[in-house]
Chain A
Protein backbone atom coordinates (compact mmCIF):
# COMPACT_ATOMS: atom_id res chain seq x y z
CA UNK A 1 0.00 0.00 0.00
CA UNK A 2 1.38 3.39 -0.95
CA UNK A 3 2.33 5.70 1.89
CA UNK A 4 1.41 9.31 2.51
CA UNK A 5 2.53 11.54 -0.32
CA UNK A 6 3.14 15.25 -0.17
CA UNK A 7 3.69 17.70 -2.97
CA UNK A 8 5.75 19.62 -3.65
CA UNK A 9 8.74 18.35 -1.70
CA UNK A 10 10.56 21.65 -1.80
CA UNK A 11 9.28 25.17 -2.21
CA UNK A 12 10.85 28.62 -2.14
CA UNK A 13 8.58 31.62 -1.70
CA UNK A 14 8.97 35.32 -0.99
CA UNK A 15 7.62 37.15 2.02
CA UNK A 16 4.03 38.23 1.50
CA UNK A 17 3.19 35.50 -0.99
CA UNK A 18 0.86 32.64 -0.30
CA UNK A 19 1.45 28.91 -0.70
CA UNK A 20 -0.61 25.74 -0.98
CA UNK A 21 0.71 22.36 0.05
CA UNK A 22 -0.92 19.08 -0.85
CA UNK A 23 -1.21 15.77 0.97
CA UNK A 24 -2.59 12.44 -0.21
CA UNK A 25 -3.24 10.04 2.65
CA UNK A 26 -2.82 6.30 2.68
CA UNK A 27 -5.69 4.66 0.82
CA UNK A 28 -8.60 4.12 3.19
CA UNK A 29 -7.39 6.62 5.76
CA UNK A 30 -9.94 9.26 6.58
CA UNK A 31 -8.10 11.53 8.99
CA UNK A 32 -5.37 13.93 7.93
CA UNK A 33 -3.31 16.05 10.31
CA UNK A 34 -0.72 18.72 9.59
CA UNK A 35 2.37 19.53 11.64
CA UNK A 36 5.08 22.17 11.38
CA UNK A 37 8.66 21.23 12.22
CA UNK A 38 11.28 23.90 12.92
CA UNK A 39 14.63 23.76 14.72
CA UNK A 40 13.44 26.28 17.29
CA UNK A 41 9.90 25.14 18.05
CA UNK A 42 10.17 21.46 17.18
CA UNK A 43 7.10 19.62 15.99
CA UNK A 44 3.85 21.50 16.43
CA UNK A 45 0.32 20.49 15.54
CA UNK A 46 -1.48 22.69 13.02
CA UNK A 47 -4.87 21.07 12.44
CA UNK A 48 -6.71 17.83 11.77
CA UNK A 49 -9.35 17.09 9.17
CA UNK A 50 -11.79 14.21 9.18
CA UNK A 51 -14.62 13.70 6.72
CA UNK A 52 -13.94 17.11 5.21
CA UNK A 53 -14.37 18.85 8.57
CA UNK A 54 -11.72 20.47 10.71
CA UNK A 55 -11.82 18.59 13.99
CA UNK A 56 -9.04 20.21 15.91
CA UNK A 57 -6.75 23.19 15.53
CA UNK A 58 -3.42 24.07 17.04
CA UNK A 59 -2.19 27.45 18.18
CA UNK A 60 -1.35 29.02 14.85
CA UNK A 61 -2.57 32.31 13.35
CA UNK A 62 -5.44 32.45 10.91
CA UNK A 63 -2.97 32.76 8.02
CA UNK A 64 -2.72 28.99 8.25
CA UNK A 65 -5.74 27.20 6.88
CA UNK A 66 -6.60 23.88 5.36
CA UNK A 67 -9.26 21.78 3.81
CA UNK A 68 -10.04 18.19 3.02
CA UNK A 69 -11.73 16.82 -0.05
CA UNK A 70 -14.19 13.97 -0.38
CA UNK A 71 -11.38 11.59 -1.36
CA UNK A 72 -9.59 12.49 1.92
CA UNK A 73 -6.84 14.40 0.16
CA UNK A 74 -5.95 17.55 2.03
CA UNK A 75 -4.43 20.91 1.26
CA UNK A 76 -2.83 23.42 3.57
CA UNK A 77 -2.62 27.09 2.71
CA UNK A 78 -0.45 29.77 4.24
CA UNK A 79 -1.20 33.34 3.26
CA UNK A 80 1.00 36.42 3.64
CA UNK A 81 4.13 34.38 4.23
CA UNK A 82 6.60 35.47 6.89
CA UNK A 83 10.24 34.48 7.26
CA UNK A 84 9.31 32.49 10.36
CA UNK A 85 7.07 30.25 8.29
CA UNK A 86 10.15 28.56 6.87
CA UNK A 87 9.81 24.99 8.06
CA UNK A 88 9.22 21.37 7.18
CA UNK A 89 5.48 20.81 6.91
CA UNK A 90 4.45 17.26 7.63
CA UNK A 91 1.18 15.63 6.82
CA UNK A 92 0.00 12.53 8.66
CA UNK A 93 -2.90 10.22 7.99
CA UNK A 94 -4.69 7.76 10.20
CA UNK A 95 -7.39 5.24 9.59
CA UNK A 96 -9.86 7.08 11.72
CA UNK A 97 -9.97 10.04 14.05
CA UNK A 98 -9.17 9.17 17.63
CA UNK A 99 -6.13 8.79 19.72
CA UNK A 100 -5.88 5.01 19.46
CA UNK A 101 -5.15 5.27 15.76
CA UNK A 102 -1.48 5.79 14.99
CA UNK A 103 -0.61 8.48 12.50
CA UNK A 104 1.56 7.78 9.47
CA UNK A 105 3.63 10.65 8.18
CA UNK A 106 4.59 11.74 4.71
CA UNK A 107 8.09 12.92 3.76
CA UNK A 108 7.15 16.56 4.23
CA UNK A 109 7.32 19.74 2.21
CA UNK A 110 10.33 21.94 2.91
CA UNK A 111 9.18 25.55 2.65
CA UNK A 112 11.75 28.32 2.52
CA UNK A 113 10.56 31.91 2.75
CA UNK A 114 13.01 34.58 1.59
Chain B
Protein backbone atom coordinates (compact mmCIF):
# COMPACT_ATOMS: atom_id res chain seq x y z
CA UNK B 1 0.00 0.00 0.00
CA UNK B 2 1.14 3.51 -0.70
CA UNK B 3 1.45 6.21 1.93
CA UNK B 4 2.80 9.70 2.31
CA UNK B 5 3.90 11.33 5.54
CA UNK B 6 4.30 15.03 6.17
CA UNK B 7 5.69 15.03 9.69
CA UNK B 8 5.17 18.73 10.37
CA UNK B 9 1.69 20.19 10.58
CA UNK B 10 3.12 23.70 10.75
CA UNK B 11 6.34 25.30 9.58
CA UNK B 12 7.26 28.89 10.40
CA UNK B 13 10.09 30.68 8.65
CA UNK B 14 11.24 34.27 8.48
CA UNK B 15 10.94 36.11 5.18
CA UNK B 16 14.17 35.82 3.21
CA UNK B 17 15.28 32.64 4.96
CA UNK B 18 15.41 29.27 3.22
CA UNK B 19 12.43 26.99 3.75
CA UNK B 20 12.00 23.23 3.78
CA UNK B 21 8.75 21.28 3.91
CA UNK B 22 9.33 17.61 4.57
CA UNK B 23 7.75 14.58 2.89
CA UNK B 24 8.47 10.88 3.08
CA UNK B 25 6.72 8.17 1.11
CA UNK B 26 6.16 4.46 0.95
CA UNK B 27 5.16 2.78 -2.31
CA UNK B 28 5.73 -0.41 -4.22
CA UNK B 29 8.17 0.11 -7.03
CA UNK B 30 9.20 3.47 -8.40
CA UNK B 31 7.19 6.42 -7.14
CA UNK B 32 5.86 9.37 -9.03
CA UNK B 33 5.97 12.28 -6.58
CA UNK B 34 4.21 15.63 -6.63
CA UNK B 35 3.94 18.82 -4.62
CA UNK B 36 0.83 20.96 -4.61
CA UNK B 37 0.01 24.22 -2.81
CA UNK B 38 -3.41 25.36 -1.62
CA UNK B 39 -4.29 28.95 -0.88
CA UNK B 40 -7.38 29.83 1.17
CA UNK B 41 -10.66 29.13 -0.63
CA UNK B 42 -8.79 27.91 -3.68
CA UNK B 43 -8.09 24.56 -5.24
CA UNK B 44 -4.68 22.94 -5.37
CA UNK B 45 -1.98 24.38 -7.60
CA UNK B 46 0.67 22.11 -9.10
CA UNK B 47 4.22 23.04 -8.10
CA UNK B 48 6.46 20.27 -9.37
CA UNK B 49 6.81 16.54 -9.96
CA UNK B 50 9.44 13.84 -9.95
CA UNK B 51 9.13 10.96 -12.37
CA UNK B 52 12.67 9.95 -13.20
CA UNK B 53 16.02 11.54 -13.92
CA UNK B 54 17.74 14.21 -11.86
CA UNK B 55 17.05 14.00 -8.17
CA UNK B 56 16.69 17.78 -7.93
CA UNK B 57 13.48 18.96 -9.53
CA UNK B 58 12.74 22.62 -10.17
CA UNK B 59 9.18 23.89 -10.21
CA UNK B 60 6.99 26.95 -10.13
CA UNK B 61 7.55 30.11 -8.06
CA UNK B 62 11.18 29.26 -7.29
CA UNK B 63 10.41 26.00 -5.50
CA UNK B 64 12.47 22.88 -5.90
CA UNK B 65 12.40 19.41 -4.41
CA UNK B 66 15.03 16.77 -3.84
CA UNK B 67 14.23 13.12 -4.38
CA UNK B 68 16.19 10.81 -2.10
CA UNK B 69 15.54 7.17 -2.83
CA UNK B 70 17.54 5.76 0.08
CA UNK B 71 15.68 7.93 2.57
CA UNK B 72 12.37 7.68 0.65
CA UNK B 73 12.02 11.44 0.92
CA UNK B 74 10.93 14.24 -1.35
CA UNK B 75 11.42 17.48 0.57
CA UNK B 76 10.24 20.79 -0.86
CA UNK B 77 12.68 23.68 -0.67
CA UNK B 78 13.04 27.34 -1.55
CA UNK B 79 16.20 29.39 -1.06
CA UNK B 80 14.45 32.57 0.06
CA UNK B 81 10.91 32.56 1.47
CA UNK B 82 8.33 35.21 0.60
CA UNK B 83 5.33 36.21 2.71
CA UNK B 84 3.19 35.24 -0.28
CA UNK B 85 4.45 31.64 0.05
CA UNK B 86 2.30 31.26 3.17
CA UNK B 87 -0.16 28.48 2.32
CA UNK B 88 -0.96 24.80 2.80
CA UNK B 89 1.42 22.42 1.04
CA UNK B 90 0.62 18.86 0.05
CA UNK B 91 2.95 16.09 -1.00
CA UNK B 92 1.39 13.35 -3.12
CA UNK B 93 2.44 10.07 -4.69
CA UNK B 94 1.21 7.75 -7.40
CA UNK B 95 2.45 4.18 -7.34
CA UNK B 96 3.30 1.89 -10.20
CA UNK B 97 -0.13 0.33 -10.61
CA UNK B 98 -0.84 2.74 -13.41
CA UNK B 99 -3.90 4.17 -11.76
CA UNK B 100 -4.01 7.92 -11.91
CA UNK B 101 -5.14 8.65 -8.39
CA UNK B 102 -2.98 10.89 -6.24
CA UNK B 103 -2.44 9.76 -2.67
CA UNK B 104 -1.93 12.86 -0.54
CA UNK B 105 -0.17 13.58 2.70
CA UNK B 106 -1.97 15.44 5.45
CA UNK B 107 -0.53 18.79 4.48
CA UNK B 108 1.88 21.26 6.07
CA UNK B 109 0.87 24.81 6.78
CA UNK B 110 3.71 27.16 5.96
CA UNK B 111 3.76 30.60 7.53
CA UNK B 112 6.36 33.11 6.39
CA UNK B 113 6.86 35.81 8.98
CA UNK B 114 7.65 39.31 7.71
Contact = CB atoms under 8 A, between A and B. Distances in A.
B43 A45 contact: no
15 contacts: A42-B104, A43-B92, A45-B102, A48-B99, A55-B100, A56-B99, A58-B101, A92-B102, A94-B100, A97-B100, A98-B100, A104-B46, A105-B44, A107-B42, A107-B43
Contacts of A48: 99-101
A106 B43 contact: yes
B6 to A, nearest CB: 10
B114 interface: no
Given A99-B98, A100-B32, A100-B51, A105 B43 contact: yes
B101 A98 contact: no
Nearest to A31: B100
Given A107-B42, A108-B43, A102 B99 contact: no
Given A44-B104, A100-B51, A104-B46, 19 more contacts: A4-B43, A42-B105, A42-B106, A42-B107, A43-B104, A45-B101, A45-B103, A48-B101, A50-B100, A90-B44, A92-B44, A94-B100, A98-B100, A99-B32, A101-B100, A103-B46, A105-B36, A105-B44, A107-B41
Contacts of B100: 31, 33, 48, 50, 55-56, 94, 97-99, 101, 103
B94 interface: yes
Interface centre among B34, B49, B99, B101 (most CB of A within 10 A): B101
Interface of B: 32, 34, 36, 41-46, 49, 51, 90, 92, 94, 98-107
A87 to B, nearest CB: 13
B101 A56 contact: yes
A104 B44 CA distance: 8
Contacts of B42: 107-108
B40 to A, nearest CB: 11
Given A45-B103, A99-B32, A90 B43 contact: yes
A68 B80 CA distance: 43
B104 to A, nearest CB: 4
B106 to A, nearest CB: 5
